[in-house]
Amino acid sequence: MIAVAGGKGGSGKTTTTLGLARALTRRGAPVVAADADWDLPNLAELTVETGGTVDGTVVDATRAREETSPDRSAPTVLAAPTDAGPVDASATLEALGEAVPADAPTLLDCPAGASPDAAAPLRAADRSLLVTPLRRSALRDAAKTAAIARRLDSPPLGVVAVRAESVPDPVADLLGCPVLGRVPPAPPVPLSEPAVRSAYDGLARRLTNEYGARRWRVA
């Protein structure tokens, strides 16, 4: 599992989770995208707004304890639980990792920042993917998130710079990982833009080449 993480709300994590999930699906991978931000869930809403469907909740999927068989025509999107109060996030996300086939990419849309809620998906994930705008304050927060991810054994595979015209070389040095993608500025619904779709296709290609080629079922 890959935790899609960032320093603050509004950094582009949910858009990147869904955009990358769809791009990996276009490469033939059976992708699962799960909302791990249970306090401020919006992955399901964004999925429906952009023409997709939601396949249940994270809790439903893990209670079944059966391997999912994601449809390769679209990612399997799992919403946050409707009542997260009594649910153990760490146990649920670990169960999700066991339920999904090992060769299916699984993306976790994480809570923002360094809260205890953000720790659960980072602990459950094998690696993380940082998402950040290039504002100074956002980069500082992303660096803190990168440090936490490493402490929780989910080291960053790379960083995705969102709403960016270009990415200065020092960004990779600051975050201690390569820049895997740059998503250009776009209107309020960026996933409808061809340039944004192309950016996520490039991210999916690089992520597959760097990490998933021997792990995932891809075309």
Report d(CA 6, CA 9) in Å as an integer: 8
Residue 6 counted as domain residue: yes
φ, ψ for residue 132 (rounded to 5)? -160, 145
Mind listing the pLDDT tens digit for each residue in 180-195? 999 999 887 789 899 9
Q: Provide the domain limits for residue 168.
A: 2-212
Report d(CA 58, CA 74) in Å as an integer: 17
How far from 51 is each of 47, 78, 85, 155, CA to CA, in Å?
Answer: 6, 15, 30, 33
For residue 53 the two structure tokens come to: 């469907």
Predicted local distance difference test score (pLDDT) of residue 199: 97
Facing residues of 149 across strands? Answer: none
Residue 7 counted as domain residue: yes
Mind listing the pLDDT tens digit for each residue in 106-125? 999 999 876 777 899 999 99
Tell me what percent of the residues of the chain surpass a pLDDT of 90. Answer: 79
- What is the number of structural domains in the chain? 1
Least confident range from 57-66, 129-138, 162-171, 173-182: namely: 57-66
Residue 22 counted as domain residue: yes
pLDDT at 70 over 70: no
* 179-183 vs 156-162, strand pairing mode: parallel
Mind listing the pLDDT tens digit for each residue in 144-164? 999 999 999 999 999 999 999
Q: What interhelical angle do 116-124 and 136-151 show, nearest 10?
A: 60
**Local structure of residue 120 (DSSP, 8 states):** H
pLDDT at 32 over 80: yes
Mind listing the pLDDT tens digit for each residue in 78-111? 999 988 778 899 999 999 999 899 999 999 999 9
What ranges in the chain are assigned the alpha helix state H?
Answer: 13-26, 43-49, 58-64, 89-99, 116-124, 136-151, 170-175, 194-207
Residue 62 counted as domain residue: yes
Q: Tokens 């169960």 identify what position?
A: 95
Are 44 and 77 a contacting pair, CB within 8 Å? Answer: yes
Residue 113 counted as domain residue: yes
| CATH number assigned to the domain comprising residue 190 | 3.40.50.300
Residue 217 counted as domain residue: no
The model's pTM is: 0.94
Tell me the mean pLDDT in the region 14-32: 96
For residue 210 the two structure tokens come to: 């760097």
Least confident range from 9-13, 30-34, 112-116: namely: 112-116
